[in-house]
Amino acid sequence: MDEFALIRHYFSRLTDDDASIVVGIGDDCAQVRVPSGMDLVLSIDTLVEGTHFLPGTEPAHIASRLMGAAVSDLAAMGAQPAWFTLALTLPRADEAWLAAFSEQLGRCARQFGIRLVGGDTTRGPLTLSVQVQGLVPAGRGLHRRGAREGDLVCVTGTLGDSRAGLDIQLRPDAQPDRLPASSLALLQRFFAPEPRLATGLLIADYASSCIDISDGLLADLGHILKASQVGARIERQQLPLSGALRTYTDIQQARDWALCGGEDFELCFTVPAARWDALCVKLQSHEVPVSCVGEILPASDGLCLEDGGVKLSSGTVDAGYNHFAQGNSA
């Protein structure tokens, strides 16, 4: 199958007719219509076999991971997903692989409300890039730079699950068909991140800053602190942990993973204390839980970690945070 037949067969049919797409797959560029009064937000994410996923990972899992991670960046900006392009580098045209990959890609695209409008296909070591494009009201959107002293630090969902999902895969005795339901749920968190799109849109009018958690809460909160020139206090005991994670490991390991394990693709955001009650009213009928895990401090405080109100350690915002992990939480 040549490159053009491959594109036609597996990818052209993923685009739907949409009034916003003036020209879709098949021309030199896609042409899309940005509604007046909106800004376009863009982000690109790449997965490389052997670096971001283990060789032999199922193509459907790769598609879910790719789309979940890319669209999560739109959620973190409080954006409405609109279009995406796909750059595929494939070692060979493996039709079974392409069928499974493109089917799952299409499923995720429909679920997240984002449309494929173009891409590039080349031969080489398995590498996948997705560039996502979304819309925010002109001049608005959520950014890393707006946190202020006294704001509350919040996170969506539960943390640490994806790190546990990685742990399960790395076990030498891993046998997927023998795993308990709780472990399957953790694997699902690793392979199929759920971008918090609805939450991003909901908090956009309340939050002072936001980021999605791809490298771990401490590392990603560190980006907010740096961009906003503030410090923060995080309380270990307030970290939201899933039942599945608590079943899988002990509480200290679970909290370490919640702080430092990456790829949860939850949102970390800050809210002025005066806006918190109004946001809580909005969140009452929202399906994704939001937890308050700390507070923004002056820049001079750096990032402080507490356990039951007792200060464990603090780091400069620039530092790596691995020293927070692993059993120094006594």
Interface residue list for Mg ion (CB under 5 A): 120
Binding mask 28-47 for ligand ADP (x = CB under 6 A): x-------------------
120 binds ligand ADP (CB under 6 A): yes
Encoded tokens for 221: 């909160």
- The 10 Å CB-count burial string (b at 16+, else e) for 256-292 is bbbbbbbbbbbbbbbbbeebeeebeeebeeeeeebbe
* Rounded least distance, CB 15 to Mg ion, Å: 17
Q: Write the DSSP symbol of residue 325.
A: S
Residues 86-105 that bind ligand ADP (CB under 6 A): 86, 88
**Residue 27 interacts with ligand ADP (CB under 6 A): yes or no:** yes
11 binds, among ligand ADP, Mg ion, none (CB under 5 to 8 A by kind): ligand ADP
| 7 binds ligand ADP per the rule CB under 6 A | yes
AA identity, residue 9: H
List the one residue out of 27, 26, 30, 28 whose CA is nearest residue 12. 26
DSSP code, position 285: T
Q: How many residues bind ligand ADP (CB under 6 A)?
A: 13
Instruction: Pick between residue 31 and residue 328 the one whose CB is nearest to ligand ADP.
Output: 31
CB atoms within 10 A of CB 215: 17
Whose Cβ is closer to ligand ADP: residue 95's or residue 120's? 120
Q: Which of 59, 68, 78, 118 binds ligand ADP (CB under 6 A)?
A: 118
Q: Is 26 in the site for ligand ADP (CB under 6 A)?
A: yes
Length of the chain (residues): 330
Task: Kindly tell me the sign of the dihedral angle through the C-alpha atoms of 176, 177, 180, 186.
Answer: positive
Which 125-164 positions form the footprint of ligand ADP (CB under 6 A)? Answer: none
Q: Which does 69 bind (CB under 5 to 8 A by kind): ligand ADP, Mg ion, none?
A: none
> Scanning the structure block, which residue is given the tokens 């909901």?
202
Separation in Å, CA 163 to CA 57, 199, 271: 17, 22, 27
Comparing every residue's Cβ against Mg ion, the nearest one is 120
Binding partner of 119, given Mg ion, ligand ADP, none, CB within 5-8 angstroms per partner class: ligand ADP
Strands of the 38-48 sheet, one edge to the other: 38-48, 127-137, 80-90, 115-123
Q: Which residues make up the interface to ligand ADP (CB under 6 A)? A: 7, 11, 25-28, 86, 88, 116, 118-121
